[in-house]
Amino acid sequence: MSHFSYQNGVLHAENVALSAIAEEFGTPAYVYSKATLLDNFNGYAKACAGRDALVCYAMKANSNLAVLDLLARQGAGFDIVSGGELLRVIAAGGDPRKVIFSGVGKTVEEMRLALDKGVLCFNVESIPELHRLNEVAGQMGKRAPVSLRVNPNVDAKTHPYIATGLKANKFGVAYDDALDTYRAAASLPHLEVVGIDCHIGSQLLDDAPLLEALDKLIALIDTLAGEGIVLHHLDMGGGIGINYSGEDAPVQVGDYLARVFERIDAWRAEKYEGKPIKVIFEPGRSIVGNAGVLLMSVEYLKPGEEKNFCVVDAAMNDMMRPTLYEAWMAVQPVTPREGKALTYDLVGPVCESGDWLAHGRELAVQPGDLLAMMTAGAYGFTMASNYNTRGRPAEVIVDGDQVHLVRRREQPQELFALESLVK
Ligand SMILES: Cc1ncc(COP(=O)(O)O)c(C=O)c1O
Ligand SMILES: N[C@@H](CCCC[NH3+])C(=O)O
């Protein structure tokens, strides 16, 4: 459930009017609802209660330290894809022993850092990566815990740019090569094979492809067990979608997890005398997506013969999803006004024709009005850039009637502070 609602004609985050936040912190600004964030995490935690299961929040979706801290305090682990993300987890008070390290391009330095901090597992994506990790662990006198990211070749039925589980994608080890890759991993002295994982794509509305992937992983675990390679955990990745349009009907997290556990329990009962296997999930979007909005102001209205443009102070550098995926994001006035609505393209000040946030929206607006892009908490700020020397937005967390500035707006001078002139 999301805690953004109209109260007395003004859009609120929990008990705080977004207009008050705009006045205090300026726009554009990302505003997050703590209650929504925790509700979403607790949806996973409840479905996992009493089981050997770990929810490793995929922090690429939103890695603000305050968000990580709130989730760590609920017991979350983290799915990371860089050494930088690991340092964020630690800075936020998260436990590295609950960290899963994913990604196709881990560097030697990143492997060293992760081994030194004692992460739970490396999700390895290729044979060369296995060899590099074996070497680095050997130099450090350690054994690296390893899971193979298997690419189960199932169609996630999502936008091609965010599907990851097909043969054509760069991710993971091909299903048909997985057995040989496990044998290679098991033969390396400084690796300890502990698990298996997959992540087939993002914004999945239906869990059928995920369950299909699960069946394939189960079959592989059985084959491996037959060879004496016994796995201790099964990581389903992330991918559960959210309702962007008001009409998307994503599978409920509780229902999906129940179906996963039902299959796993039946399989373990039949083949392993009921001995459980640890289950890991790596959700990102379904934890933070509907917990955030991007608050912006209308700068100019430009009526035209072909199109009307509503120029706002947020842009593609603040929120990439429309430009990158042609993603449809809901936009709502903070204080809806009476009067004639026009059809607008919502665009930012960046010098690119691709700088748009929404196309063809019916809006009754005037310059100075506030708009909120809804469901913007995931892959919003984390994908923001400084293009056009634009400072990235402030980030604010609302908790009931309290407002916390959790990242201040970047100032222009900070954007070139690392640069120097040719001597
Ligand atoms: C390896 C991995 N795990 C988890 C996630 C989180 O996915 P989502 O935000 O769709 O839950 C991603 C991103 O798609 C990912 O690449
Ligand atoms: N960033 C993407 C999802 C990619 C997920 C990362 N593997 C989005 O906004 O939808």
- Mapped to the 3 state alphabet, what secondary structure does 65-102 carry? HHHHHHHHCCCCEEEECCHHHHHHHHHCCCCHHHEEEC
Residue 28's alpha-carbon distances to 25, 31, 291, 360, 409, in angstroms, are 9, 10, 17, 21, 9
**What is the whole-number distance in angstroms between the Cα of residue 239 and the centre of ligand 1?**
6
User: Which pLDDT belongs to residue 155?
Assistant: 83
| Region of poorest pLDDT, from 140-154, 160-174, 303-317, 398-412 | 160-174
User: Which pLDDT belongs to residue 158?
Assistant: 73
**What domains can be seen in the chain, in order of their start residue?**
4-31+290-415 (2.40.37.10), 103-281 (3.20.20.10)
Q: Taking 80 as the threshold, does the pLDDT of residue 13 lie above it?
A: yes
- Burial state string for 341-376 with b = 16 or more CB within 10 A and e = fewer than 16: eeebbbbbbbeeeebbbbeebebebeeebbbbbbbb
Q: Is 246 labeled as ligand-binding? A: no
User: Which pLDDT belongs to residue 165?
Assistant: 60
How far is it, in rounded angstroms, from Cα 137 to Cα 308? 59
Q: In ligand 2, which atom is closest to the CA atom of 159?
A: 10
ipTM of the complex: 0.98
- Burial state string for 218-254 with b = 16 or more CB within 10 A and e = fewer than 16: bebbeebeeeeeebbbbbbbbbbbbbbeeeeebbebe
Q: Is the CB of 88 under 6 A from ligand 1?
A: no
Instruction: Find the catalytic residue in 48, 121, 310, 351.
Output: 351
Q: Is the CB of 238 under 6 A from ligand 1?
A: yes
Phi, psi of 42 (to 5 degrees): -65, -25
Q: Is the CB of 199 under 6 A from ligand 1?
A: yes
Q: Is 284 labeled as ligand-binding? A: yes
Reported as a single tens digit per residue, the pLDDT across 120-158 is 999 999 999 999 999 999 999 999 999 999 999 888 777
| Confidence grade of residue 371 (pLDDT, cut at 50, 70, 90) | very high
Residue 178's alpha-carbon distances to 27, 174, 196, 223, 268, in angstroms, are 49, 6, 10, 11, 21
| Confidence grade of residue 166 (pLDDT, cut at 50, 70, 90) | low
Q: Taking 80 as the threshold, does the pLDDT of residue 1 lie above it?
A: no
Angle between helices 178-187 and 208-226 (to 10 degrees): 50
Q: Is 368 labeled as ligand-binding? A: no
Q: Is the CB of 94 under 6 A from ligand 1?
A: no
Q: Is the CB of 369 under 6 A from ligand 1?
A: no
How far is it, in rounded angstroms, from Cα 96 to Cα 117? 6
Amino acid (1-letter code) at residue 169: N
Please state the pTM of the whole predicted model.
0.97
| Residue with CA closest to ligand 2 atom 9 | 379
Task: Say if CB 80 and CB 89 are below 8 A apart.
Answer: yes
User: Which pLDDT belongs to residue 164?
Assistant: 67
**CA neighbor of 151 nearest in space, from 129, 121, 128, 174:** 174
Q: Counting ligands in written order, which one lies closest to the CA of residue 283?
A: 1
Reported as a single tens digit per residue, the pLDDT across 196-215 is 999 999 999 999 999 999 99
**CA neighbor of 137 nearest in space, from 118, 110, 100, 112:** 112
Q: Taking 80 as the threshold, does the pLDDT of residue 50 lie above it?
A: yes
Residue 351 annotated to the active site: yes
**What is the whole-number distance in angstroms between the Cα of residue 180 and the centre of ligand 2?**
30
Strand, helix or coil for residue 179:
helix
